Amino acid sequence: MATQKTYHIVTYGCQMNIHESEKLAGIAEKLGFIHTETVENADLVVFNTCCIRENAEHRAAGNIGALKQIKRKNKNMIIAVCGCLTQQKGTAEDFAKKFPFVDIFFGTHNVEEFETLLLNRLNGKKRQISLWEKEGNVNETLPKKRTSYPNAWVNVMYGCNNFCTYCIVPYVRGRERSRKMQDVVNEVRGLVLEGYKEITLLGQNVNSYGKDLGDDTNFASLIRALGEIKGDYWIRFMTSHPKDLSEDLVIAMKENPHVCHSLHLPVQAGSNAVLHAMNRKYTAEDYLNKIQMLRKHIPDCSVTSDLMVGFPGETEEDFVDTMKLVSSVRYLNAFTFVYSRRKGTVADKMDCQVPEETKKDRIMRLISLQNDITREISAEYQGKETVILCEDYDEKKQLYLGRNQYGLMVYFAWRQESIPVGKFLRVKITEVGGISLYGEVLEETQWLSHQ
């Protein structure tokens, strides 16, 4: 009896890539492969790459190179490299020369071709390299092997039209293409029926959803349509571009009882000069007005952000403006980054690159400020009750964990025989440890409404 073939997928980058890997896993399982936790034991290894930041590119290259010795022992192992890195102009060709033992290269535009490429290689055909220069149509037929229960990812659109000067995404993901509203609604309804408790809607700029469909569809109307789906579940979404955040969308968020009162709204910088150089198409004042509008309609809404320091030409005064904005908004959390040059972007050619030492100093000051704010917000929960969705078990802490609708992580002990993952629980916060909360479960509950 033949041994069943196994696959292992290594994913770099954002939730978009995680969900894309679920599609690749679905294709692998359709062809009879089963998942294995270890790369060394896999007959098929897929590297789904990211090129947004330089460290992700270096990690991918290092891990791909490390498989050379393993493949010498297992000559039948098939190695595939895909994702944003391979879609970047010239990179796949460079990698093909650097890693001659890799069997398959393909990009972000032709994920659906993975099945054909893999079958060709399994049938003894030569190395497969396929990179579509233009994005394809939205494909609704790809199988998915979901791996994040009780969370599920749902693309609402693909690509980006914004062309921020530091960002490679429009070049590797293509222009914006929205899925039809009914296809999104049907997928979410199916996930709720399957028991998923948190649905995250994905897009490079979800606020642009529907603009390319040629009808009255927009993201606010999609949020309202999803509100008609009955069940006990949360909805989150990312990422929202500040320039396109409308009052109608905020009102739709408020009206839909399933939408969490949290919003990821990347500002990137608090200096108008830097925002202009980034081509963000809003000012710091515009952004703060959007925050004021959001909190007028949803006073308890938490806000998270992306913040970048060291963009070309950023002065100390510019950086101080960013610090002032962070202090004003009081983000629950923020992803903080040092600017990293990306070949092929406008910013890569800019003069006045900020010295590395200056970048390091500024990022540490920014992280310190944001951590202080997060700790202050967390401390307000001491002795209070909150509802969380249990997501996982932390082996190191030997505690279960879950987030509340605002995004705060809570750790707790569970002494019942049943497994709490996927349950909504009411907990009382008994200890605040830095940015983490620790709680005592009061009861299993339901999430029906904000009221």
- Tally of CB atoms within 10 A around 151: 22
The alpha carbon torsion through 116, 119, 121, 123 (nearest 10 deg) reads -140
As a whole number, mean pLDDT of residues 233-248 equals: 96
Evaluate the omega torsion of the peptide bond into residue 239 and state whether it is cis, within 30 degrees of 0: yes
pLDDT at 1 over 70: no
- Tally of CB atoms within 10 A around 246: 14
End-to-end Cα, the chain, rounded Å: 59
Give pLDDT tens digits for 397-418.
Answer: 999 999 999 999 999 999 898 9
The alpha carbon dihedral of 226, 227, 228, 233 has a sign of: positive
Structure tokens at 233: 């579940």
Pairwise pLDDT comparison (343 vs 283), residue with the higher score? 283
**φ, ψ of residue 307 in degrees (nearest 5):** -135, 130
pLDDT at 447 over 90: no
As a whole number, mean pLDDT of residues 26-36 equals: 94
pLDDT at 422 over 80: yes
49: amino acid identity, one letter: T
Structure tokens at 254: 């408020």
Mention every residue, 6+ apart, whose C-beta is less than 8 A from residue 100: none
pLDDT at 57 over 80: no
pLDDT at position 451: 41
pLDDT at position 217: 95
As a whole number, mean pLDDT of residues 337-352 equals: 90
As a whole number, mean pLDDT of residues 380-397 equals: 96
Give pLDDT tens digits for 94-105.
Answer: 888 899 999 999
pLDDT at position 374: 96
CA neighbor of 222 nearest in space, from 207, 233, 240: 207
pLDDT at position 60: 83
130: amino acid identity, one letter: S
Give pLDDT tens digits for 42-53.
Answer: 999 999 988 777
Per-residue burial over 348-387, b if 16 or more Cβ lie within 10 Å, else e, is eeeeebbeeeebeebbeebeebbeebbeebbeebeeeebb
The Cα 157–Cα 219 span in angstroms is: 10
pLDDT at position 333: 96
As a whole number, mean pLDDT of residues 158-183 equals: 92
State the pairing for strand pair 436-445/151-155: unpaired
Burial class (CB in 10 A: 0-12, 13-18, 19+), 182: exposed
Pairwise pLDDT comparison (133 vs 67), residue with the higher score? 67
Confidence of residue 196 (pLDDT cuts 50, 70, 90): very high
The alpha carbon torsion through 270, 157, 292, 164 (nearest 10 deg) reads 20
As a whole number, mean pLDDT of residues 149-164 equals: 94
pLDDT at 124 over 80: yes
**What is each CA distance from 17 to 20, 203, 225, 260, 440, in whole angstroms?**
5, 11, 26, 23, 35
